[in-house]
C-alpha cells in the first residue's frame, strides 16, 4: 500500500514518528511536511531527535492567516497527491495542515485516515475545533484515542470506519522516555531539581493575543513561590515583547527557547506541576503522572479532568494561583489512553483495508 502522511506542526512530528516506523515495515510511505512550523526549534530538531525520515516533500508554506495558510497548503498538497497517486492519505490531529490534507484528498477521492479523530472541546471559537470537526466528516477511516472520542463521533452520526486504537502519543512516550532521561540535560542546564519547579507552556491566541490574560498568567507565576521554567513559543515571545513584558518577567520565571521533544519530555516528567494551554501537553502530563493546570475554560481531553489530574482555570490570576498552591489529583491514574500499541493496531487496520472499501 502507498500512503501519503501529512505533517506540519510540532505535535504531529511526535505522533508521526512511531506511526511512520510501523508503517514502513510493510508499506510505502511518502512524508509531506507543509512547513506550518518551519524554524529549527519548532521543526527540524524533532525530525533529528525522533529519527523521522526526511520529508519527501517540504512545501515551505510558513505562517499566515488561517485562510491564506490553509489555502496555500490545499493547493500544494493537491499537486503532491496528483503526482503520487496514494491509496490512503494520513492526517494527524487538528491543525491547518490536517484540514488541508483531508480536503485535498477528499476532493481527489483518495481515502482519508484521521489519527486522533473524535476529539471535541465544543468551542467553535477555537480554530482547532473547526479543523477537527471538518476533518472527521471528510475522513473515511477514523482512528480514535479514547472511548469518549468514539462517542463524540457517534453523536454526530459518524459510525462507519471508526476504530478505537488508543493514543499514538502513548507509543511515542514509551519509546522515548528512557532516551530522554539518558540524553537530556535540561534540568541541569536550567538549574532546577526534580519536583522543585513548575513547567509552563502558553501559545493559544486567546492567551497570547490578550495583554490582560498573559499579564494575569505571568502575575500568577510570579507569586508561585518556586522556580518556573517557561519555554517560550515564537508567537508568545512576539506578544510578550510587544506588551513590554519580557523585560518585566518575574524573577522566579526562567524564560528559555523552545525545546526539542526529549528535553521537553524530561522537563515535564520531573515538574511538580505543569501549567499549559496546549491540548497535547495536558495529555502528556497525565501519562507522566504530573498534575496539570490548564489555562483554558475547556478541553478536548475531558478524561484527564474527570480523572482528577487536570483542572481548568482559564486565565484569571486568582484561580491560577489557587491551583498552583492547592490543586492535587483526587485519585490514582487510570489507563485512559491505551497500552502503547496504537501504531501496531493502525498498521494492521490499514493492511486489512487493502482491496476493500474504507469502513
The segment(s) of the chain belonging to CATH 3.40.50.2000 are: 2-167+338-352, 175-326
Read off the pLDDT of residues 322-351 as tens digits, 9 standing for 90 and up.
999 999 998 888 889 999 999 999 999 999
N-terminal to C-terminal alpha carbon distance within the chain: 17
Cα pseudo-dihedral 116, 129, 105, 18, rounded to 10:
-20
Q: What pLDDT shows up at residue 64? A: 82
For 286-321, give the DSSP string: HHHT--EEESSS--S-HHHHHTTSEEE-TT-HHHHH
pLDDT cut 70: percent of the chain above it: 97
Tell me which H or E stretch contains 236.
helix 234-242
Cell 524564560 belongs to 255
Read off the pLDDT of residues 43-69 as tens digits, 9 standing for 90 and up.
577 778 887 888 999 999 977 888 999
Q: What pLDDT shows up at residue 46? A: 74
Q: What pLDDT shows up at residue 39? A: 54
Q: What pLDDT shows up at residue 318? A: 98
**Dihedral sign of CA atoms 152, 156, 159, 165 in order:** negative
Q: What pLDDT shows up at residue 355? A: 58
Give me the chain's average pLDDT, please: 93
Q: What pLDDT shows up at residue 356? A: 60
Q: What are the angstrom distances between the C-alpha of 337 and each of 69, 132, 171, 334?
A: 32, 19, 10, 9
Instruction: Domain 175-326: give its CATH superfamily.
Output: Glycogen Phosphorylase B; (3.40.50.2000)
pLDDT mean values, one per 10 residues, the chain (359 residues): 94 92 96 76 71 90 87 97 98 96 98 98 93 98 97 98 97 94 97 98 94 97 97 92 95 95 96 96 96 96 96 98 96 91 97 67
Burial class (CB in 10 A: 0-12, 13-18, 19+), 99: buried
Residue 27 is a catalytic residue = no
Q: What pLDDT shows up at residue 359? A: 44
Residue 328 contacts by C-beta under 8 Å, 6 or more apart in sequence?
291
Q: What pLDDT shows up at residue 50? A: 83
Cβ atoms within 10 Å of 165's Cβ, excluding its own: 21
Q: What pLDDT shows up at residue 2? A: 97
Q: What is the CATH number of domain 2-167+338-352?
A: 3.40.50.2000
Q: What is the spatial distance between Cα 39 and Cα 90, in angstroms, rounded to a whole number?
A: 23
Catalytic residue among 66, 137, 203, 270: 203
Are 8 and 33 within 8 A, CB to CB? yes
Amino acid at each position: 500500500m502507498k500512503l501519503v502522511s501529512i505533517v506540519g506542526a510540532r505535535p504531529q512530528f511526535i505522533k508521526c514518528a512511531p506511526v511512520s516506523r510501523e508503517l514502513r515495515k510493510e508499506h510505502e510511505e511518502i512524508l509531506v511536511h507543509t512547513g506550518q512550523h518551519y524554524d529549527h526549534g519548532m521543526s527540524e530538531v524533532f525530525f533529528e531527535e525522533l529519527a523521522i525520515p526526511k520529508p519527501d516533500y517540504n512545501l515551505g508554506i510558513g505562517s499566515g492567516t488561517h485562510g491564506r495558510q490553509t489555502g496555500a497548503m490545499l493547493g500544494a498538497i493537491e499537486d503532491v497527491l496528483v503526482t503520487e497517486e496514494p491509496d490512503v492519505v494520513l492526517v494527524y490531529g487538528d491543525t491547518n495542515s490536517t484540514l488541508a490534507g483531508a480536503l485535498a484528498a477528499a476532493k481527489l477521492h483518495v481515502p482519508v485516515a484521521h489519527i486522533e479523530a473524535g476529539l471535541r472541546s465544543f468551542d467553535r471559537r477555537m480554530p482547532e475545533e473547526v479543523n477537527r470537526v471538518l476533518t472527521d466528516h471528510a475522513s473515511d477511516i477514523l482512528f480514535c484515542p479514547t472511548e469518549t472520542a468514539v462517542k463524540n463521533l457517534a453523536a454526530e452520526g459518524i459510525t462507519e470506519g471508526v476504530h478505537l486504537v488508543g493514543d499514538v502519543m502513548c507509543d511515542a512516550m514509551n519509546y522515548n522516555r528512557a532516551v530522554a532521561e539518558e540524553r537530556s540535560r535540561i534540568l541541569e542546564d536550567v538549574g532546577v531539581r526534580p519536583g522543585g519547579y513548575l513547567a509552563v507552556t502558553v501559545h493559544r491566541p486567546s492567551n497570547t493575543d490578550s495583554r490582560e490574560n498573559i499579564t494575569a498568567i505571568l502575575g500568577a507565576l510570579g507569586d508561585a513561590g518556586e522556580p518556573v521554567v517557561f519555554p517560550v513559543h515564537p508567537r508568545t515571545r512576539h506578544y510578550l515583547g510587544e506588551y513590554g513584558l519580557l523585560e518585566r518577567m518575574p524573577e522566579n520565571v526562567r524564560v528559555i527557547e523552545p525545546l526539542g521533544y526529549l528535553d521537553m519530555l524530561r522537563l515535564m516528567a520531573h515538574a511538580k506541576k505543569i501549567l499549559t494551554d496546549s491540548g497535547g501537553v495536558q495529555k502528556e502530563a497525565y501519562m507522566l503522572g504530573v498534575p496539570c493546570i490548564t489555562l483554558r475554560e475547556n478541553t478536548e481531553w475531558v478524561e484527564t479532568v474527570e480523572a482528577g489530574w487536570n483542572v481548568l482555570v482559564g486565565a484569571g490570576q486568582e484561580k491560577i494561583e489557587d491551583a498552583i498552591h492547592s490543586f492535587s489529583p483526587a485519585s490514582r491514574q487510570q489507563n485512559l489512553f491505551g497500552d502503547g500499541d496504537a501504531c501496531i493496531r493502525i498498521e494492521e487496520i490499514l493492511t486489512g483495508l487493502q482491496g476493500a472499501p474504507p469502513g
